[in-house]
Amino acid sequence: MNADFARTLALLRQEKGISQRRAAEELGISQALLSHYENGLREPGLAFVRKVCDYYRVSADYLLGRTLDRDGAVIDAQELCDASEEKESLKGSVAATLQKKLLVNSASLLFELLGRTGSREAVNAAGRYVSCALYQLYRMLHRAAGGKERFFALGGAPFDAGAVDAEMRLARVDFARALDALAQEDDALPVVDAAVLADTHPGLTQSLTQVLHNTEEETVILLEGKSLQEKLEVQEERVQKQKQTIARLEKECIELQNRDARGLLLLLEYQYASKDYERCRETAEHLKYKTDFLKIEGNIEHPSELARYEGIVSALAEKS
């Protein structure tokens, strides 16, 4: 296991608001052993990892720190495979994937921090503000794509006159008031130190930092009144950085797929050895779509990963 597992295991328990003793009892182990797991002093077996996933309702990938999504979603290599084919600019689908990840991760961190304040006013105001921004962008897209105005309850005239802008500004005022009220209380506001956030939420913090940087960069260009040519040069530099990011993500995705396939193979072998044939068949079905990432080299003494997978599948078929 890695340090991410120990940290995530402890954070999930704290998030659930239960003691170490209670968690240990419900997971069927001693408190001392759970303490060792949470502090990275011991490594658990696959059976315990599976039990923890069910207990906290998260995926093994999330538990191991391989993805920020609790359901185990990661950026597919297929979503990034066309990046190198575009020589002049990023393809829309790839750029959209990156922007979505940046904004979703940033919003997740923002609302997690707001949730720690316990202020419903702050959370609701922030939600209204972000919702207004999304509403305006989607309505503009809907209109440009030829959508019917009657789809919206708010008429076109008040929308064009800035009704949603007004609600957005009001939400910002309410947000400021809620934060001001929290500032009057002791320790009501969350810790926002960059080093602390980077340690507790590395992926989310990285996305938020990138969003902040991009926004400030565009704002500085606006304030300094740079020429169109200068702005294009800055944007071209950003495109090059994004291409480098995509190349790195593509490489990481392939590595994740390799590790995921081998992890599933180990789980498959463990389940088969434990005679847990029902779960074994489920794992084999998942692994079926990842066999391209299994090694095919091997010999009689040390069968290849693919041969090991095929051997178990054949054995399962005989037991049907």
In a domain, 130, yes or no: yes
In a domain, 177, yes or no: yes
In a domain, 270, yes or no: no
In a domain, 221, yes or no: no
| pLDDT tens readout for residues 144-187 | 999 988 888 888 999 999 999 999 999 999 999 999 999 999 88
In a domain, 183, yes or no: yes
Asked if residue 257 lies in contact with residue 293, where contact means CB atoms within 8 angstroms, the answer is: yes
pLDDT of residue 240: 81
In a domain, 126, yes or no: yes
Asked if residue 254 lies in contact with residue 77, where contact means CB atoms within 8 angstroms, the answer is: yes
Instruction: Tell whether the model's pLDDT for residue 30 goes beyond 50.
Output: yes
In a domain, 147, yes or no: yes
Alpha-carbon torsion (17, 18, 24, 28), positive or negative: negative
Instruction: List the domain range (segments joined by +) for residue 127.
Output: 120-187
Q: What 3-state class would DSSP assign to 237?
A: helix
In a domain, 264, yes or no: no
Q: How many domains does the chain have?
A: 1
* pTM, to two decimals: 0.48
Query: Which residue matches tokens 């999930």?
Result: 12
